[in-house]
Amino acid sequence: MLLLWYVLCLVSPGLALAVAALFYARHCKERPDPHRRVPAVAYGLALLVVAIVGYFLGMAYGIERACSGPADNLCGLTGVFVAGPLAAAFAILFIGALILLLPSDRTPESN
């Protein structure tokens, strides 16, 4: 069971990137005018930056929590392989979801 948890933590950033790509596709559908969309390169760079920052903050928090108190010499691995990837995934999902808050270009059709 613990191994499954570690595998899920390691693949969570990849799954979050897939969901963020779906969010961007929905953003492009809601804003058909290319001049009013968030550029894909800017979106990708924003995801990369928040993923890196989230990973290092999560890793630092995970190492601090796992290594506080009586711990063995491998306590830091929890931060590197569990807390870091989870924090990166949450950061990616947060920024990915923010793009859905932009107003749509589509107007409701009146009957």
- On average, the pLDDT of the chain sits at 90
Tokens 């804003």 sit on residue: 31
Higher pLDDT, 77 or 106: 77
Per-residue model confidence as pLDDT tens digits over 36-92: 899 999 999 999 999 999 999 999 999 999 888 887 888 888 899 999 999 999 999
How far is CA 12 from each of CA 3, 6, 58, 61, 83, rounded to the nearest angstrom? Answer: 14, 10, 13, 18, 11
Rounded to whole angstroms, how far apart are CA atoms 40 and 48?
12
Q: Taking Cα atoms as reference points, which of 56, 48, 43, 44 lies closest to residue 86?
A: 56
Rg (CA), the chain: 18
> Rounded to two decimals, what is the model's pTM?
0.87
Q: Could you tell me if 19 and 93 are in contact, meaning their C-beta atoms sit under 8 angstroms apart?
A: yes
Residues in the chain: 111
